[in-house]
Chains A and B, each alone.
Chain A
Amino acid sequence: ETGVTQTPRHLVMGMTNKKSLKCEQHLGHNAMYWYKQSAKKPLELMFVYSLEERVENNSVPSRFSPECPNSSHLFLHLHTLQPEDSALYLCASSPAQGSEQYFGPGTRLTVT
Chain B
Amino acid sequence: AQSVTQPDIHITVSEGASLELRCNYSYGATPYLFWYVQSPGQGLQLLLKYFSGDTLVQGIKGFEAEFKRSQSSFNLRKPSVHWSDAAEYFCAVVLNYGGSQGNLIFGKGTKLSVKP
Which residues of A does B touch, CB under 8 Å? Answer: 4, 6, 33, 42-43, 45, 48, 50, 55-56, 88, 90, 92, 95-106, 108
Please determine whether A98 and B43 come into contact, CB atoms closer than 8 angstroms.
Answer: no
Q: Mark B70-114, 1 if CB is under 8 A from A, else 0.
A: 000000000000000000001000111111111110111100000
| Cβ A101 vs Cβ B41 within 8 A | no
Residue from A33, A56, A100 within 8 A of B49 (CB atoms): A100
Name the A residues within 8 Å of B45 (CB-CB). Answer: 103
Question: Which residue of chain B has the shortest Cβ distance to A106 in the bound complex?
Answer: B43
Q: List, in ascending order, chain A residues with CB within 8 A of B46's CB.
A: 100-102
For B94, give its contact among A6, A42, A92, A99 (CB under 8 Å): A99
User: Does the CB pair A50–B100 fall under 8 Å?
Assistant: yes
Return the chain B residue nearest A90 by Cβ. Answer: B43
How many residues belonging to B are interface residues under a CB distance threshold of 8 Å? 25
Residues of the B chain whose Cβ atoms lie less than 8 Å from the Cβ of A45: 103-104
Point out the residue from B34, B41, B95, B109 that lies within 8 Å of A100, measured CB to CB. Answer: B34
A-B pairs, 5 with minimum CB distance: A98-B102, A103-B43, A103-B44, A96-B98, A105-B43
> Does B2 make an interface contact (CB < 8 A)?
no
Q: List 26 A-B contacts (CB under 8 A).
A: A4-B43, A6-B43, A33-B103, A42-B106, A42-B108, A43-B90, A50-B100, A95-B98, A97-B98, A97-B99, A97-B100, A97-B102, A97-B103, A98-B96, A98-B98, A98-B99, A98-B100, A98-B101, A98-B102, A99-B97, A99-B102, A100-B34, A102-B46, A103-B36, A105-B43, A108-B41
In the assembled complex, the Cα of A24 lies from the Cα of B44 at a distance in Å of 16
CB-based nearest A residue for B44: A103
Residue pair B97, A98 in contact (C-beta under 8 Å) = yes
For residue A100, which residues in chain B have a CB less than 8 angstroms away from its CB? 34, 46, 49, 104
User: In the complex, what residues of B have CB within 8 A of residue A102's CB?
Assistant: 46
